[in-house]
Amino acid sequence: MSRFADRVAIVTGAGAPDGIGAAVAGQLVGDGASVVLGATSDRIHDRAAELGDSAVGVVSDLTTEAGAEALLQAALNRWGRVDILVNNAGMTSVASGWDADGDVAALSLAQWEATISRNLTTAFLMCRAVVPVMASAGYGRIVTVGSTTGTVNAMPGQSGYTAATAGLVGFSRALALAIVGNGVTVNVVAPGYIST
């Protein structure tokens, strides 16, 4: 029997065909899970189609409460449950085309807020949406994809991203303590650079 048979997962930030989110979603489906894939672009439908009937893609802005709720409702409407959440949505300042992040005086408030929102607020909103459902069921696994940048490798030129990913660690620790005893675990993985 597959290790995730009958489990339902939500994976955010799964739109890039060669990114971490798409790889995680593919592994979950391969191990028997049904998966809701979330991203901000229509290409998420292509990722879901590649995975077959066990996957559905949802275009959603996870920096909003409505966006997080849309992913939750997609899972509940199709499969009636959520067992796993993989918070993978995020961005670096470099990926956004900003070259001023290293100079705090040149970093605009809008750039700072966008980086915090896309990396930290998205995880908060998704956790806030799914935790009551998981706690009610007595089971849940939350895995947040952070970065070595936020743990051991702070980088010049990435002050907003470093702050946001460090915040993911603190938020996850606090959440894990807040929901202990409900059958829901919370963890952060912190990869370094990948090829994309």
Count Cβ atoms below 10 Å from residue 16 Cβ, excluding itself: 17
In the chain, what is the greatest distance between 2 CA atoms, to the nearest angstrom? Answer: 56
Count Cβ atoms below 10 Å from residue 42 Cβ, excluding itself: 10
The residues assigned a catalytic role are 161
Q: Sign of the C-alpha dihedral, residues 24, 42, 50, 58? A: positive
CB-based contact 33:8 (threshold 8 Å) = yes
CB burial string 147-182: b at 16+ within 10 A, e below: bebbeeeebeebbbbbbbbbbbbebbeebeeebeeb
Q: Which residues contact 177 (CB under 8 A, 6 or more apart)?
A: none
- Tally DSSP H helices, then E strands, for the chain: 6, 6
Per-state percent for the chain, helix, strand, coil, to nearest 5 = 45, 15, 40
